[in-house]
Amino acid sequence: MGKSVISNVIPRTYHDSVRLMQVSKELSNLHSVQRTFIAMGTDANKRVLEQIGLLTDVVKDAGANDLIFVVEAKSKAIGKGTLAKAEALLAKGGKKTSNKGNMENIPKTFGQAYKDFTDANMLFVSVPGPYAALEASKALNANMNVMLFSDNVTLEDELNLKKLAAQKGLLLMGPGCGTAVINGIALGFANVLDSGPVGIVGASGTGLQELTTLLNRKGVGVSQVIGVGGRDLSDTIGGIMMKQGISILSSDPKTELIVLISKPPDITVTQTILKEVLSSGKPVVVNFLGEVGSRDHDGIIFTETIEDTAEKVLSLIGNNPGPVLATNTNTLIKMAHNESERFAKDQKYIRGLFSGGSLCDEAINVLRKYSQDIYSNVQTSKKWTLKNGQISKKHSCIDMGEEEFTQSRPHPMIDPSYRQDRIIKEANDPSVAVILLDVVIGYGAHDNPAESLAVTIRQAKADAFANKRYLSVVAHVCGSEKDHQGLRMQEECLRDAGVLVMSTNAQAAQVTAAIVGAELN
C-alpha cells in the first residue's frame, strides 16, 4: 500500500510546544499513520520538514506565526481524518472555564494574562526561541519570576535576562529549563514529591528528577527545586542564576540543606559558585557530574554520582550510618554473572539508549571507571564523539532527547516509539550484549512507558534467541511512588519482560559494566 502526505496551514494561530507535543503523541498512536508534524511555520521547522521529505507546497509559504500540520498516512482519507482530529484536539484545549462557569477564551498575550491572573507571580514560557526572550523580559519587568522552558534563546538574551532577574531578586529559570518544583508546584517534567528540608539548584533536568525521587523514596522531601538551564555555569553567563538560587535557599527557613547539581562548570565559574556556597550558612552538597575528587571543606561536601548525592543527603538529614540506596557489590556481581553466562561468543558491547541527558551523562561516567571506550552523541571529547548519533559504535550511550532526534518528533519521554525502533536495531547487531535504558515517569511523561517498551523488549529478546544469542536488558525507572504511572507497576512490567531493573541509574550502569566483564570494586 502507498503513502499519502496531507498538510494544512492555519494562519496566525499559535499553540505552545508542550501542547503540540501532547497532540503529536496522541496522533502517533493512531493506526495507519506513519508520521505527524505539528509546529509553527518557522524557517527552522520548514527546513526540518524538507530534510525528512515532508515539505509540501502548502506549507512552503507558511509564516512563523502560522500553525502547520503535516501527516503521512497509508491513504489520503486517513491523512485527512488525522488532520481533522489534530485540529479538534487543539481546539479542545483552547478554552477555559471561569469561576462563574462561563466559557472564555484563554488570554492570548502576556498583558491579558497579567490582568486576568492578578495573584500570579510566575510566567511559564514555551514559545519559539526568537519570541521567548521578549515574553520573559515582559514578565521580569512586571516583577514576575520566569521559567523559560523554550530553547534556541541567544546567549546574549540569556545574559541580559538573568542580569535583570538578579537585579530584581527574581528567578529566570532557563532557557531550556525542563524541571522545577516551586512551592510544591511541579513545572515541566517533574514528579510528585513530598515537601521537606532539602533545597536544590540544578542545571540538569533528569538529574534533578533522579535526585529528588531517590530522596522521596526514602521519605525525604524538598523545599524548592530550582532549574537554571544548561548554559548558566558557562563563562559567559557566570552562574548568575545558580548564585541567585543559592541566595534564595539560604534565606528560606524551610530549607535546612542545599544541593547543587550540574555538569562541571567552567573553571572561573566554579570559584564564584563556591564563594556563594560558603556564605550560605547552611550545609551544602555539590555534585558536578563527572568531576572526580574529594575536596570536602568548610561545610561543602562533593559527590560523584547522583546516587552518591542522595546517599549523602540522606545521611545528613536522617543521620543514617551507612548507605541505604546501594546494592551490595556481591549481589551485583551475581546478577551480572547470571546474564553474561548466556551470551554467544561475539557478544561484548553495551548500547545505552537514554531519554534523559543527565542520566546518560551519569551512566557514561560510571562506565568510564571500567573502560574509557564509551562513545556518545553528547561527549565533549572528539575522540569519543559519534559522528552520527543514529549509528552506534562499540560501547555507546546515546541521549535520544538531543535535538538530532527530537526535531521532527516528540521527546522520547513523551513518545517512546523512536526509541523502540532503536532498541530493535541495536538488538539485531550480533556484537551487542546489553541494552541499557532509563524510564522516566511523572508529569509530562508518557502515561505507561514501561508497557510500550516491554512489547519491544520481548520482541528484541525473541529475535536474539532465534539467532542463537541472548540479549540482556538493564533499566532503571526514575520516578516517585506517587507518580500517576505507578512506579512499582512500571518496574514490574519491565521485570515481566525479562529486564534487570535496578533501583538507581548509577547501579544500572554499574551492573551493565559487570555483565560485559568489568571487575566491580
Residue 472: which CATH number?
A: 3.40.50.261
Is residue 197 located within the same domain as residue 302? Answer: yes
Is residue 346 located within the same domain as residue 308? Answer: no
Is residue 455 located within the same domain as residue 311? Answer: no
pLDDT confidence of residue 298: 67
Asked if residue 100 belongs to a domain, the reply is no
Is residue 54 located within the same domain as residue 118? Answer: no
pLDDT confidence of residue 161: 97
Owning domain of residue 88: 4-95
Task: Give per-residue pLDDT as tens, 212-257.
Answer: 999 999 999 999 999 999 999 999 999 999 999 999 999 999 999 9
pLDDT confidence of residue 13: 81
Asked if residue 156 belongs to a domain, the reply is yes
pLDDT confidence of residue 267: 85
66 Cβ contact partners less than 8 Å away, ≥ 6 residues apart: 9, 10, 11, 12, 13, 40, 41
Asked if residue 102 belongs to a domain, the reply is no
Rg (Cα) of the chain, in Å, rounded?
Answer: 23
Q: Does 92 have pLDDT greater than 80?
A: no
Q: Does 102 have pLDDT greater than 50?
A: no
DSSP bridge partners of 437: 353, 475
Query: Taking residues 144-159, what's their average pLDDT?
Result: 93
Task: Give per-residue pLDDT as tens, 403-453.
Answer: 788 765 778 998 888 899 999 999 999 999 999 999 999 998 999 999 999
- Using the 3D structure, point to which of 69, 95, 121 is the last residue of a domain: 95
φ, ψ for residue 434, nearest 5 deg: -130, 135
Distance CA 190, CA 17 (A): 17
Q: Does 94 have pLDDT greater than 50?
A: no
Query: Taking residues 193-199, what's their average pLDDT?
Result: 97
- Is the four-CA dihedral 45, 440, 435, 450 of positive or negative sign? negative
Distance CA 21, CA 19 (A): 5
pTM of the model: 0.86
Asked if residue 310 belongs to a domain, the reply is yes
Of the pLDDT bands very low, low, confident and very high (cuts 50, 70, 90), residue 18 is low
Asked if residue 105 belongs to a domain, the reply is no
% of residues, the chain, pLDDT over 90: 63
pLDDT confidence of residue 98: 42
DSSP bridge partners of 123: 146
Would you state the torsion angle of the CA atoms of residues 461, 511, 304, 185, taken in this order, to the nearest 10 degrees? 50
Of the pLDDT bands very low, low, confident and very high (cuts 50, 70, 90), residue 146 is very high
Task: Give per-residue pLDDT as tens, 252-294.
Answer: 999 999 999 998 888 889 989 999 999 999 999 999 987 655 5
Asked if residue 101 belongs to a domain, the reply is no
Query: Taking residues 321-341, what's their average pLDDT?
Result: 90
Cis before 175 (ω within 30):
yes
Return the CATH number at 36: 3.30.70
pLDDT confidence of residue 101: 41
- Do 478 and 359 meet the contact criterion of CB atoms below 8 Å apart? yes
Is residue 127 located within the same domain as residue 200? Answer: yes
Is residue 153 located within the same domain as residue 21? Answer: no
CB neighbour class for 306 (10 Å; exposed up to 12, middle 13-18, buried from 19): buried
Is residue 185 located within the same domain as residue 256? Answer: yes
User: Which amino acid, residue 168?
Assistant: K
DSSP letter string over 298-310? Answer: TTEEE-SSHHHHH
pLDDT confidence of residue 95: 45
Averaged pLDDT of the chain: 89
* Chain Cα centroid distance, residue 64: 27
Is residue 356 located within the same domain as residue 451? Answer: yes
- Using the 3D structure, point to which of 283, 318, 353 is the last residue of a domain: 318
Asked if residue 296 belongs to a domain, the reply is yes
Q: Is 184 helix (H, G, I), strand (E, B) or coil?
A: coil
Query: Taking residues 317-345, what's their average pLDDT?
Result: 89
Is residue 368 located within the same domain as residue 441? Answer: yes
Q: How many domains does the chain have?
A: 3
Query: Taking residues 481-499, what's their average pLDDT?
Result: 96
Is residue 22 located within the same domain as residue 82? Answer: yes
pLDDT confidence of residue 519: 85
Asked if residue 416 belongs to a domain, the reply is yes
% of residues, the chain, pLDDT over 70: 93
Task: Give per-residue pLDDT as tens, 19-69.
Answer: 777 787 777 667 778 788 888 888 878 887 887 788 999 999 998 888 898
Is residue 217 located within the same domain as residue 351? Answer: no
Is residue 277 located within the same domain as residue 339? Answer: no
- Do 363 and 354 meet the contact criterion of CB atoms below 8 Å apart? yes
- Using the 3D structure, point to which of 95, 128, 162 is the last residue of a domain: 95
